[in-house]
Amino acid sequence: MIRSLSLFTAVTTMALLVGCENRTGPMQSMDTGTSSEDTADVTTAVCKLEPIGESGVEGSLEFKQDGETVIITGTVTGLEPGKHGFHVHQSGDLSDKQAGKSTGGHFNPDNNPHGKPSDEERHVGDLGNIQANDQGVAEVNIEDTVISLNGPKSIVGRAIVIHAGEDQFTQPTGDAGARVAFGVIE
Ligand code: CU
Ligand code: ZN
């Protein structure tokens, strides 16, 4: 293993040296495939929300990374009119179809208290509330600079969870009540 690694290093180094002498030559492509920094940033994601239990709540969301900002747009239907807690939860595990507990708690990599989206200290997943109209439809339009589609605060692979009640920003998780819809961000 060590021998093959050092052989690999030697070959790569030689390739880079050759590449430096001839930057337009075909050898230059050698270093693009081997560096992890070449992995393209994620710029978009989607989330299809499905009902938890018999809630009848469903919807779909789109996420767009624009610099430091993530823009979330979409529509959620089947809600009770009013405000509903809207969070990124830790795990994209949707196995608990009856209560949604499989998604775990709010995504909180910094071990902060629960908060409003505008709070300096908050769970990364604290996106506040969405508002449903009299028909039970919520048009989502959120911009947030704490969540990301890349790096340590990436929400990709985690879950959006919508609650029966309003996030009241109380500790530890806002008292937003039961989970009524969830989906994986992917
Ligand atoms: Cu939640
Ligand atoms: Zn929280």
pLDDT in tens, 31-83: 444 444 556 799 999 999 999 999 999 999 999 999 999 999 999 999 999 99
Neighbours of ion ligand 2 (CB under 5 A): 106, 114, 123, 126
Nearest ligand to the C-alpha atom of residue 112 = 2
Query: Within 13 A of 107's CA, how many CA atoms are on the CB side?
Result: 25
Query: How far does residue 73's CA lie from ligand 1's centre (Å)?
Result: 18
Give tens-digit pLDDT for 143-155.
999 999 999 999 9
Residue 10 has pLDDT above 90, yes or no: no
Query: How far does residue 52's CA lie from ligand 2's centre (Å)?
Result: 20
The reported pLDDT for the residue numbered 21 is 38
The reported pLDDT for the residue numbered 39 is 64
The reported pLDDT for the residue numbered 25 is 38
Task: Report the C-alpha gap between 132 and 76 in whole angstroms.
Answer: 8
* CB within 8 Å of 24: residues ≥ 6 apart: none
Residue type, 21: E
Q: How far is CA 177 from CA 115, 164, 171, in A?
A: 16, 6, 13
Give tens-digit pLDDT for 95-123.
999 999 999 999 999 999 999 999 999 99
Query: How far does residue 66's CA lie from ligand 1's centre (Å)?
Result: 25
Sequence ranges of the domains in the chain:
1-39, 41-184
As assigned by CATH, the class of the 41-184 domain is mainly beta
The reply to whether 84 belongs to the active site is no
Please say whether the beta carbons of 169 and 117 come within 8 A: no
